[in-house]
Each structure stands twice: as structure tokens, then as C-alpha cells.
Chain A
């Protein structure tokens, strides 16, 4: 792998590139999914190739080749240079200086998920599926997944790093229907469960079979529940929904490429400006957000990003004030701060982009019950069901799978079709409490989209239940 990267870098610099990096990536994804007592999907996918990124006369070029041989490496390098030379624009792209690094990193894994027999995975899914049966339950689905990504990065500046990242994940969903009402309940998270950089021990720790009856009971109860009323009230969100709120309304707007408009044609831009750093009031004093690619088990954990920048923990919001952006070497150079460290590519055939790594909201104090205890009248919401946010990441609307009234500090009747909406800084400004370290969990998302051509990133968020005052809930069509 290393020799091919070096050959590609040599070919690119020989063709006139002032900078080049090459990544050889081998990725394997395994998925077992069952639905209503049958195997629904059983796939084992691998993909490998080399991606070469060059700067020629200040213009970027990227090309890739699935052939892992010298011809493939050189062809990719030369085509990347051709594309860069043809690129329209004035181009004066500079990269923040980083020290050339060599090193190796591997995820901590107790039991290799690919060594677990497929038959055992099928058995686990079917046992959980069986335990999901219940009144009005019409769809039961369970899945387990594993990924291993082995990649080598070599650059013309002397960076030479190798990383092996292993992920394991699982989840289950249960749909119930009654009299035209359709409801979903998921565990541990919606939208393809939850994952970690870990081995099979993570899947076992989720205790899918043991959790399934509660999931089914709640799905069945939801089709009998009243809809969430429409009003302004106090909202308490579970950690899962807080994680998504952080992702959408803090993670994406603090990506500095979005701030500079380079995602304007697809994912959108940001309400933040470069000059907001250090001064913008993002939320209340309870709001502390940290980017941390060193988090054990995080899906965004690594030793080096895809530009070879070493992993570093850094504040993004401190006591409610904007304290940092997520950057690449190029965008860091533009603001003259830092040296990047958030560049990641979705495999060998995509160009690295500024992506979230692990973005956490730091814990506060107490428990979920403590948060509820200080609410006379409000709504407690759990597990994301729908999400949408505008192109500058200001106006958002989220729905959750399940909610409960809060009356006099206690959870009351169950509610369905709960939604809430707001404007990002106003919403975070209404944060008045977040639960403590004991309630703080890592939530792993595998469906973060960005870029053209599209790229999916895997990111984690540490989050705990949090309370927000005066929030609009129950949005109706």
C-alpha cells in the first residue's frame, strides 16, 4: 500500500504538482438484517483503490483508480493533475503548515466482529426479532453491522501514516399500526441503530434481546397515544436527540468549508462568519461543545485525519461562546488559526472534506429525573424520528418517536407525533440544564451526508439529556 502511495505522489510531483497526497484504502462492510422473522439482507462488501489529490498552480485535482498496482497509481496521479490544470479560477490555495508525521493507529477491539460467525449474527437478530413481537406490531427489524477500513496516507511533504479502523454496530426498529395510525420505536437509536469503533463486545453490550420487549410495548402504546399538542413549553430531550441536535445545529455550521461557501450547492452554508470566532453568543452558559477525535470508541476517532494532521481535542463552544471551527489545512490557513485536523474522505474514491470527528456536548450535573423535577409543565422527548434544518443551519424542525407530558416534575401520559422547532442560537440560548457525566453516552451516526459527489461520514456525539425553555412543539401540516 505504502509503495503505491509513494509512486502516485512521485508521479504527481513529476507532472508538476506542488503538493500531492495519495491514500490507499481497503474497506469491508458486513451487514446482517432480519425482518419479521426472516433474513432480509446479508451482505459482505469490500472495496479498495487509490485516491490521489494534487495541487497544481494552486488548483486542486482529484482522481482515483480501483487498480492497486503501479499503473493504477500513476494513472490516478496524472489524471488528477490534468483535472487540476483544467480547473477554472484564479487559485491561490495555501495550506496551513503541519509537521510531517509517520505513525500507525488501530482501533481497540476485544473481539473482531468479522471473526464472529455469520450464523451467530443471524441467530442474535432472530432472537431479538422474536422478542419484538407484540400487539399491533406489524414490522420488526433487527440489524448488526461491522466495518473495517485499512488506509495508508503518503504525502509529498513526508507524511506517511497507516490506520486500521474497526466499527461494530446494531439496532432494531419496531413499527405498529392501528386504525390508520403508524408509529415506530427503535433501540438504541433510530436510523441504522448505533455504532462504535469497537469489537463485537459493543453489540453484546447493547442487550438487544433483553431490550426488545420494551421497544415493542412502547410501539404498541404509541398507536393509542394522543398527538403532541401544539404550543410553547419546556422541552427535555433524551441524549440521543441532543446528539442529533448537536450534529445538525452545531457540527455542520462550524465546519469552516461551509462558512466559506464551498458546500453552498448541496449541503448548504452557515449562519456563522469567520469573524464570529471568540465573540458570537451561540447559546447559554451551560453549553460547552468539544471536538475530540481522540475519544475512545468514537466513530470519528483516529490518530491522523486524511491530511495527516494529528488528532487533537479542541473546544468549539465554551460557556455558550463560539470558540473554534472544524477545519482543513486550507481553511485553517484562511483564518490563520490552527492547522486543520477534520478532513476525512468516504473511501478511496472521494476527495477529503471537512467533517465532524467526535463532537460532544459536555455534561452538566444531575440526572434525567433531576431535569424533569424542575418542570411544572412540559414535554419529554426521546429518539429521533425526523429531522430538517435550513441551509444556513438556523431554522430546524425535529420529530421524535415518543414523548411524555411532564406535570409537576413527573412523567405523565405518553404522546405521539412529537415535534419541536426553533432557531439555532435562540434554542441553544434556552438551554438551562444538562444532565451529568453518569447520564452522558456516546451516540454513533453512520449517515452524515455531504459533498458532490456525495459522501457518507461516520461520526459520534457524546451527549446527555438536556432541558430547554419556551420551545415551540407540535408543528402541524
Chain B
């Protein structure tokens, strides 16, 4: 049975208004450490989430028991939940039937990859690293999302995704690289490993840096990670309504350098395309910041109804386990610039620091977009416009809007950076980001040296 068949079967088990979301996953992840596969994991699952309505009261239940008895029990639990809820006069009702856009994002060859292939592609990364120990994974998956509701809505999308991630690390040195795509053929695990090894070799002898404000070049990995964290509070409607978004009171105002344009673009085939959200609403491109001016945030039906100001859903409802964040931009995309390479960006910076990736970010002040974290696996000094000597992992505390307010340039090429850490059900998403050169990046301390 397809995911849509399961969703329809769940709907039939309910008496009254309801919506069923079926989400399947078949994935393999060949994780390696010290150049050996040590945690190879194969997952097959299908989860169905049923939302039952009693007027404006809603209850949700989830199961992966999808036989007749399992779905009947699911309907019973969701109904009990709905009947236990009070009326909610802001409840927007279920999404109407709509035609989702045609998108890419599914590849038969990627879907056909099995454990032997996933192990082989992990081995390709390990072999390409030579004598440098590598840590990371190759993973691929086929997943399917289907929605059916009593409004007549039906929608289904098959998705594939694949990632190769490598940390090359030995005593006192480490480097990082990653490729993500919805077509596994677009990923070269050996090239990923070589990039990581090359980077690691340059980090030996890392020195500490005096804390202070530095000009900086951020590779796409680092820039994407910062944006992803910033987006949770600041680029979704719930953060806006609850006044923890940096964009609260700033829509229509300049919030970034005019070189900065950020959109959520689920239709872009260079990303991980999506046709509809978890309420079945068709996806659309949403401009968030345009030429440095705040244009808006992403919405789902609930936040649009509660705003009560004419707002409407943009198709950004997330999976049920993430609903406490409200609608989120799962397909962030930063408009590229005109620098050919990161070396060109270093030249623009002149004197500063070069950051490959970040680690363990934490939001210090959501309203001001202040994020702290560490640099990792490739931090360097920039001197005289050249990427120079390696630095230890650095503690930073930056305001993302301040970082974006004075931008020297961006690279012409944007990279797709994986943002999912494969918790819960597989739902591929990531950020399309170029490398960035900016005037201010605040270093607040020194951490560990690179490497194992």
C-alpha cells in the first residue's frame, strides 16, 4: 500500500471530519569512525498521524500500526483527544483541496540504493581519505508524504535524499566537508573526503586568537547553520506573533545589507523540493528579506488565523512533532553574489578570520538574533587578503542581523547544506547558501584545538 492508501484507510476509520498524514521512510545510514563503519543503520517505517475534529475541537493521534485494528485504535485515541479539548474559536479548519505544484525531488536510482550501495559509498569516502582517519557517513533514503482529509484534499509526494559527510581528523588537525542532494549521483563521497582531508592538513599547529570583533568569511556550512538557528525564532509567523522574532516591528524596514536576499524556496530543484506542507497546503516561494529589507515570514493556517489581520498560509506547516515552533522555512535560500571563490571573499576581508563550520549553536537572545557557538574543523586567520595560519576552535557570540548588516560579498555558487540530523521521521531539508564575507563577527573566547 502507498502512503496515500494508508492515509485514506485511516480517514475511513473515523466518524466525522478528519485529516490523515502518512509519512514513510526507507533509509540506510552507513556511519563510520576511525575509517571503519561502526554504526550502520537500516530503517523502514510508516507513521500515520490522524487529526480528528469535533467542531472547533481537535485531537491528534499517531501510530505505525497500520492494519485495520491499528487504524481503528488510532481513530479512537484521536477522537477521545478531540472530545477532551475545549472549543477554539480561532481554529481555522482543515485545508481545502488544492492542486500542489509539480516539483522535482525524487530519483529512482537513489530510491533503489540498498545497504550494499550505502556501505560501498561510505567505503569510497574512507578509501579516498588515505591515511587520514575519517568520521562521518553516507546515507540515502526514499520517503513519501501523503495527506487525505474529509475536505476532499489528497496530496502525495515521493522524495529521495542522500548525504555524504566527512570529518577528517587526527591529533591536532581536522577538516570538514559535506554534499547533500536529492539525486545520489550528484554526490561524490570520495571528493567530499578529499576536501575534508585537504582542509584538515591545513589546520595543524592551530593558535589561539585574541577575543574581539573580526571581519570574517563564512563557508556555506557555517552561514547555513547560523541562518537555520536564526530562522526558528525570527523567520516564522509564531515568533513574529509572540514578539521573539527579530522581524517583530521591522517588516518593511531595512534589517540587512542590500546584498542580502533570503527566501524560502521549496520549488527550487537545486534544493530539496517540496510540493505541499503537513496540512496539505501547496508550497510557494516566500521572500523573507529582499535587498536587505524585511518582507515577511512564513505562515501556516493556525498562525494566519490567529494573526487575524488578513494573513494567509504560505504552506509552511511542519510535522506534528515540530508544531510547537509554528511554521518554519524548511527550504531557506540565500541569493548568491558575484565572488568566484572563497579566496575572492578573503581578499575583500583583507584582515580577519575564515570559518568552515560551526558547532553546538545556542540562541542567547531570540529578539536580537544573538547566537553563540563554536567554530570547528577548519578555522583560519586571514591576513593581507589571504587565508593563512590555522586557529583553534573559537567561541563566538554574534547577532545574526548585525552580521548581515555589513556584507562585503557572497560567492556566485550556493551549496545545499543538510539541516536535518535524522531525528524522528525522515524529512529532508536544508539551506541553499553561498559563502559570505562580513565586517563583524564577535569572538568571545578560545576552545579546544582541532582534531581528535
Chain A interface (Cβ < 8 Å from any Cβ of B): 33, 38-49, 59-66, 79-80, 82-84, 86-91, 117-119, 121-122, 126, 138-139, 175, 177, 180-182, 260-266, 268-269, 271, 349-351, 353, 385-392, 394-395, 397, 399, 417, 419, 421, 449, 451-456, 475-477
> Do the beta carbons of A386 and B39 come within 8 Å of each other?
no
Q: Are A38 and B88 in contact (CB under 8 A)?
A: yes
Contact of B395 among A82, A263, A387, A421 (CB under 8 A): A421
Q: With A45-B61, A46-B63 as given contacts, are A391 and B41 in contact (CB-CB < 8 Å)?
A: no
A64 interface neighbour in B42, B126, B137, B402, Cβ under 8 Å = B42
The 5 A-B residue pairs whose C-beta atoms are closest, nearest first, are A89-B36, A395-B447, A86-B119, A453-B422, A118-B84
Q: Please, which residues of chain A bring their CB within 8 A of the CB of B28?
A: 83
Given A46-B65, A118-B80, A269-B452, residue A454 in contact with residue B445 (CB < 8 A): no
Which residues on the A side are within 8 Å of B85 (C-beta)? 39, 42, 118, 122
Q: Which single residue of chain B is at the shortest CB-CB distance from A248?
A: B360
Kindly state the separation between the CA atoms of A389 and B362 in the bound complex, as whole angstroms. Answer: 9
Chain A residue, CB-CB nearest to B374: A390
**Cβ–Cβ < 8 Å partners of B402 in chain A:** 477
Task: Confirm or deny: B448 has a beta carbon within 8 angstroms of a beta carbon on chain A.
Answer: yes
Determine whether the beta carbon of B393 is less than 8 Å from that of A453: no
The smallest beta-carbon distance between A451 and chain B, in angstroms, is 7
Q: Complex: how many Å from CA A10 to CA B133?
A: 35
Contact A138 B242 (CB under 8 A): yes
B33 contacts A271, C-beta separation under 8 Å: no
In the assembled complex, 5 residue pairs joining A and B whose CB atoms fall closer than 8 Å, in A order, are: A46-B64, A64-B45, A83-B30, A86-B40, A182-B244
Q: Which one of A89, A269, A454 lies within 8 Å of B37 (CB-CB)?
A: A89
Specify the chain B residue showing the minimal Cβ separation from A268.
B359
B44/A45 in contact, CB under 8 A: no
- Asked if residues B169 and A264 are in contact (CB atoms below 8 Å), the reply is yes
Q: How far is the CA of A360 from the CA of B122 in the complex (A)?
A: 39
B42 near A62 (CB under 8 angstroms)?
yes
**Cβ–Cβ contact B119 & A87, under 8 A:** yes
| Chain B: interface size category | 35 or more
* Nearest B residue (CB) for A67: B44
> Which of A41, A65, A126 neighbours the largest number of chain B CB atoms within 10 Å of its CB?
A41
Q: Smallest Cβ distance from B328 to chain A, in angstroms? A: 16
Q: B interface, by DSSP: helix, strand, loop or mixed?
A: strand
Question: Is B115's CB under 8 angstroms from A79's CB?
Answer: yes
> Using Cβ atoms and an 8 Å threshold, which residues of chain A touch B421?
266, 449, 452-454
In-complex Cβ contact of A390 among B46, B137, B393 (8 A) = B393
Partner of A88, one of B57, B86, B123, B166: B123
Other-chain residue from B45, B323, B370, B444 in contact with A421 (beta carbon distance below 8 A): B444
Given A60-B39, A264-B169, A454-B422, verify A39-B242 contact (CB < 8 Å).
Answer: no
If A44-B60, A391-B374 touch, does A182 touch B367 (CB 8 Å cutoff)?
yes
**For A66, what are the chain B residues with a Cβ–Cβ distance below 8 Å?**
44-46, 64-65
CB neighbours (8 Å) of B57 from chain A are 39
Which residues of the partner chain B approach A386 to less than 8 Å between Cβ atoms? 362-364, 372
B residues in contact with A265, CB < 8 Å: 31, 33, 135-137, 165-167
- B102-120 interface bits toward A, Cβ cutoff 8 Å, 1 = contact, 0 = none: 0000000000000110111
For the complex, give the distance between the alpha carbons of A42 and B78 in Å: 9
Known A-B contacts: A42-B82, A399-B364. Give 7 more (CB < 8 A): A38-B86, A83-B40, A260-B33, A262-B39, A386-B372, A397-B395, A452-B29
Assess the A349–B35 pair: CB atoms within 8 A.
no
**Inter-chain contacts of A385 with B (CB < 8 A):** 364
- Per the bound structure, the CA–CA distance linking A452 and B62 in Å amounts to 24
